[in-house]
Amino acid sequence: MNTARTPIRLKGSQDRLQKALKAVDAMHHQLIELNEKLLCAEALKTRFLALMRNEINNPLNDIMGLADRIMDPLVPTEKARHLATLVKDEAFQLDCQIRNVFCAAELEAGEAAACLARVDVESVVRDVMDSFRPSAEAKGLEVTLHLDLGNPSFLSDGEMLHHILANLVANAIQFSDPPGTVVVRVTGGVDRLFLEVADQGPGIPESNLKEIFEPFHPHGGIYKVQRGQGLGLPVVKALVDLLYGELKVETEPGQGSRFLASLPSAPAVDEMGAAATDDNILIFDEPQAF
Amino acid sequence: MTVRTHYLFPCMVFTHRQEHLVTTVLGSCVAVCLQDSAMGMGGINHYMLALWNGDGLPTPKYGNIAIETLVRSMLDQGCTQNRMSAKIFGGANVIQACRGHFNVGGRNIDIARELLGQKGIPITAEDVGGDFGRRIIYNTNTGLVLVSRLKPIS
């Protein structure tokens, strides 16, 4: 009786063993996958810390050093005023970086909701230009604005427009050497708004074009972190995505770069969400419950 | 008491302890509505593409990020994963020429099924695919979803 049952029992054990082996194999693959994710997370953390040191710590040290000099009673008023301008400039850069960190966190959490309203585009653009002009001039750069709007107001998120343009202008100034010109061109304003920022900087090699939109990926590798090479472009790209727009970059090494954000007005955003490619009016049938 | 309303834009995730009627409009995008019936609360995402490929920020524009973010957000608010159930909507093939690998809607549906399956979250209802857009209104408290299909007129 026992000998008759043995093959069945063995077969059962073999099946169980095969199942267990398959489970081990699947777990092994999951572990490999998890390990890869951990390595990526570790690399991201390292890059984040390098960026924090560069973007947050260094300006803070500068601000503290400059403040010490201003506090010196022997420093003449005129000199103190100049130092105060430098403090403001450093604080402004710091503010931009911190805003990018918070904005990236909101975007990654899916919480960066667009607040749609009629936006006075000219006022947004001029505000950005006024904020960056002092640092551009201090660097010996010229910033020119070409504004040609078909409509004074545009249905979009004003704060996001401001953030997109501010990051593009900040990058253009960052990567330009004197005596260069940064050209900001804002056109459209009826169905679409076009924000264009061109610089005469070193340009971006084709091999690095994808990297520039990755968080904390400086062009020359993580050991050559420079200011402004952190979250700016990834944030711009995500904001443009959120507004259903497109971001293009044209660049050639030695010839500068040109970034163009093309954004639809908000009603068109809804239509595109519904994929109404040729119809302007959307009609929905009777709702069904699920 | 009037139920609060919320319009969900693409690339966004919404979870709330209080009852909300969340509206979103889907073409090839997919929305996953996640419910913890014991908690009486739910959440929803709206993603455009299936997988984040490392390009740009890992935002809920991508299905793998959007589903992970939604589940984590629900867990953060006290929900339990093994009590969760899902409903999926959208994933239309809105551009007729885009079939096979270029079928964005199909890939969006596949990633929802795959990731929810991996997490052991059952899909209790779905209205996916086709070649028409959808508007959905999701009640975060009851989990009820009203789906209207888009009828383009010339």
Q: What is the pLDDT of residue B56?
A: 82
- Chain B positions touching A215 (Cβ under 8 A) are 56-57
* Assembly ipTM: 0.75
Residue with the larger pLDDT of the pair B71 and A174: B71
Cis ω on the peptide bond leading into residue A179 (within 30° of 0)? yes
Per-residue pLDDT reduced to its tens digit, A218-262: 544 333 344 445 788 999 999 998 888 999 999 888 888 999 999
Quick one: B95 exposed, middle or buried, by C-beta within 10 A (0-12, 13-18, 19+)?
A: middle
Tell me if A234 and B56 make a contact (CB, 8 A cut-off).
yes
| Per-residue pLDDT tens digits for B119-148 | 999 999 999 998 888 999 999 999 999 999
| Closest-CA residue of chain A to B9 | A113
Closest chain A residue by Cα to residue B87: A290
Query: Poorest-confidence range of A7-16, A45-54, B80-89?
Result: A45-54
| pLDDT of A34 above 80 | no
Active site residue B98: no
Beta bridge partners of B62: B49
Count CB atoms within 10 A of the CB of residue A28.
10
Q: Taking residues B67-88, report their average pLDDT.
A: 92
Mutate to test the interface with A, among B6, B8, B9 (most CBs of A within 10 A): B9
Of how many residues is chain A composed? 290
Let me know: does B35 contact B84? Beta carbons within 8 Å. Answer: yes
What is the structure's pLDDT at B115?
93
Task: Please give, rounded to a whole number of angstroms, the shortest distance from the CA of A39 to a CA of chain B.
Answer: 14
Q: What is the mean pLDDT of residues B74-90?
A: 92
**Mean pLDDT in residue range A130-148:** 89
Rounded to the nearest 10 degrees, the angle between the axes of helix A77-108 and helix A121-138 is 130
Q: One of B29, B33, B79, B98 is an active-site residue; which one?
A: B29
* Per-residue pLDDT at A114: 83
Select from B13, B57, B87 the Cβ nearest to the Cβ of A235. Answer: B57
Interface of A with B in 144-173 (CB under 8 A): none
Q: What is the pLDDT of residue A259?
A: 94
> Searching chain B, which residue's CA lies closest to the CA of residue A271?
B25
User: Is the Cβ of B59 closer than 8 Å to some Cβ of chain A?
Assistant: yes
Whether A67 contacts chain B with CB within 8 A? no
Question: Which residues of chain B make contact with A231, given a CB cutoff of 8 A?
Answer: 57
Q: How far apart are CA A206 and CA A219, in angstroms?
A: 11
Check CB contact under 8 Å for A108 and B127.
no
**CA A265, B60, A39 angle in degrees (round to 5)?**
140
pLDDT at A282: 65
Q: Which residues of B touch A242 (CB under 8 A)?
A: 9-11, 61
Q: Which residues of B touch A26 (CB under 8 A)?
A: none
- Beta carbons of B25 and A273 less than 8 Å apart: yes
B27 and chain A: CB distance < 8 Å anywhere? yes
User: How high does pLDDT run on average in chain B?
Assistant: 88
pLDDT for residue A276: 39
Nearest chain A CA: its distance from B89 CA (Å): 10
Evaluate whether A184 touches A162 at the Cβ level (below 8 Å).
Answer: no
In this complex, the residue of A215, A273, A284 whose CB is nearest that of residue B10 is A273
Mutate to test the interface with A, among B8, B11, B47 (most CBs of A within 10 A): B11
Predicted pLDDT of residue A279: 43
Which among B59, B70, B92 has CB closest to A107? B59
Mean pLDDT of A181-189: 92
In contact, A259 and A197? CB cutoff 8 Å = yes
Distance (Å, whole) CA B16 – CA B70: 11
Structure tokens at A8: 């069945």
pLDDT at A203 over 70: yes
In chain A, the percentage of residues whose pLDDT exceeds 90 is 26
